[in-house]
Chains A and B, each alone.
Chain A
Amino acid sequence: MTFDTAFMLSTLPAFFQAVGVTLQVGLIAIATSLLVAVINATILVFRTPYLWRLVKGYVELARNTPLLIQLFFIYFALPTLGVKVSGFGAAIITMTFMGGAYLTEVLRAGVEAVPRAQLESGRSIGLSEGQLLRHVILPQAGILSLPALFANFIFLLKETTVVSAVAVPEILYTTKNYIALYYKTYEMLAVLTLLCVLLFLPLSLLLRYVERRLQHGQFGS
């Protein structure tokens, strides 16, 4: 079992670009999902009539179906209805659809996790509901949500590999491509594994650190 390291090195520029695409898709998806989630969470917290039921339904739908199906639907099925999207476009739309649902859940849980006693003490010093929201609920909900938010961000980044199915040139697609072209399966899989470890392991360890730090700050346990 020998590795053609020269070949591996020659592919690095292409993989570098692929990492760029991975990050592009991932980061845009994170941003758009967060936006969707904030809007949804606001609707849920304020129980806007009709809308909040819609949001609940959307969240259940998006969280109980695979990303791949959602992706194929957007990329293959929509065009037959006249809506054509590129692979990249489908990827962003789908990941926003799914990511938005997951993040909505995280934010909702964060708001609900703010201890009731906080609301009571806030009201008892005369804060209005709006002030309560701005100064008591949101900041604390934000901190409580951080570990879960971060975990979901990492999840979204990892899920970008699924969009390789619609020919978005991220790391998995690039690997498959090179394997098909040059038959250097070993080497390409090795590079892919290495890239994944380098990209995602530090994030995972960072998440553990964040979780531990916030744990101690929160309830002193």
Chain B
Amino acid sequence: MASSAPELLLISLPQLAAGAGQTLAISALGIVFATLGGVLYGVLATVGNRLLNLLLQVYLELFRAIPVLVWLYLVFFGLPIFFSISIPSFWCAVLVLGLWGASEVGEVVRGALQSLPRGQREAGLSIGLASWQLYGYVLLPQALKRMTPPTINIYTRIIKTSSLAVLIGVVEVIKAGQQIIERTYESVLIYGALFLFFFFVCYPLSAASRALERRWAHA
């Protein structure tokens, strides 16, 4: 057993780093899927198809009504039984974070697209643009600035929520920390380190989001 705090941290570093890698991997994958899914959601929600809007709303409300942790359990325990497939808990977490994140990002994208002047859509259509060209060349580029700060905030929440993966058995940074605590009993130190780890990952993102919002403030 190590005799001092810094020594202990140094020894535990590889294990913690491996765990942190898992946490960041889950978060990164979740963020990627949430972004892709969210843009798709936002575009589909502004196309104007009533059935589509209804489906998207149901999807949104399902992820709002059921807390993310519950979703984690539903997917982790439910998938094997429902669809007789069992996916590793790592991918359960990624799936849930991606789907939940996509609903949140989707609402941001939808809001941003709808805040553009209606004439942009009409002007684009009037020169013969197809729907995908309209979104790709005209609408999404202009919505980008409005979408970015809130989306970065959602990324922060995805990273924080990835911590829940420990509860379905993923060996990420918290689990790594707990394993070290089992050996060394230095819970204050380790939990403190975990606390700071998340802080130093999330705070820069929050600050960046605020800075961008200030810089791109529109009338």
Residues in chain A within 8 A of chain B (CB atoms): 1, 60-61, 63-70, 72-73, 76-78, 80-81, 158-159, 161-162, 164-165, 172, 175-176, 179, 185-186, 189, 192-193, 196-197, 199-201, 204-205
Identify which of residues 133-149 in chain B touch chain A, using a CB-to-CB cut-off of 8 Å: none
- Cβ of A81 to closest chain B Cβ, rounded Å: 6
Chain A residue with the shortest CB-CB distance to B166? A68
- Cβ of B174 to closest chain A Cβ, rounded Å: 7
B82: chain A residues at CB < 8 Å are 1
The reply to whether A196 and B66 contact each other, CB–CB distance below 8 Å, is yes
CB < 8 Å: which of B69, B164, B188 contacts A80? B188
Chain A residue with the shortest CB-CB distance to B156? A64
| B187 within 8 A of partner (CB) | yes
Question: Can you pick out 7 interface pairs between chain A and chain B where the beta carbons lie within 8 Å of each other?
Answer: A64-B160, A64-B206, A73-B192, A76-B181, A77-B191, A193-B66, A196-B70
Q: B157-187, CB under 8 A of A: which get 1 and which 0?
A: 0001101101100000010000001000101
A63: chain B residues at CB < 8 Å are 206
CB < 8 Å: which of A159, A189, A204 contacts B74? A189
CB < 8 Å: which of A1, A69, A165, A192 contacts B194? A69
CB < 8 Å: which of A60, A81, A158, A185 contacts B78? A185
Question: Chain B interface residue count: which class?
Answer: 20 to 34
Supposing A63-B206, A185-B77 touch, asked if A69 and B191 sit within 8 A by C-beta, the answer is yes
Supposing A73-B191, A175-B73 touch, asked if A200 and B65 sit within 8 A by C-beta, the answer is yes
The reply to whether B81 and A186 contact each other, CB–CB distance below 8 Å, is yes
CB < 8 Å: which of B64, B73, B77, B206 contacts A200? B64
User: Which of A81, A185, A199: most chain B Cβ within 10 A?
Assistant: A185
Supposing A179-B77, A196-B67 touch, asked if A68 and B163 sit within 8 A by C-beta, the answer is yes
- Cβ of A40 to closest chain B Cβ, rounded Å: 17
Residues in chain B within 8 A of chain A (CB atoms): 61, 64-67, 69-70, 73-74, 77-78, 81-82, 156, 160-161, 163-164, 166-167, 174, 181, 185, 187-188, 191-192, 194-195, 198-199, 202-203, 206
Chain A residue with the shortest CB-CB distance to B78? A189
A162 CA / B167 CA spacing, docked (Å): 9
A69: chain B residues at CB < 8 Å are 163, 174, 191, 194-195, 198
CB < 8 Å: which of B65, B67, B203 contacts A64? B203
A43 CA / B192 CA spacing, docked (Å): 27
The reply to whether A60 and B206 contact each other, CB–CB distance below 8 Å, is yes
B164: chain A residues at CB < 8 Å are 66, 68, 162
CB < 8 Å: which of B67, B77, B81, B167 contacts A165? B167
The reply to whether B167 and A81 contact each other, CB–CB distance below 8 Å, is no
A87 CA / B18 CA spacing, docked (Å): 29
Chain A residue with the shortest CB-CB distance to B77? A185
CB < 8 Å: which of B65, B194, B202, B206 contacts A201? B65
Supposing A61-B199, A185-B81 touch, asked if A68 and B74 sit within 8 A by C-beta, the answer is no
Give 6 new A-B contacts, CB below 8 A, not counting A164-B69, A204-B65. Answer: A1-B82, A65-B195, A185-B81, A189-B74, A192-B73, A193-B74
A73 CA / B82 CA spacing, docked (Å): 36
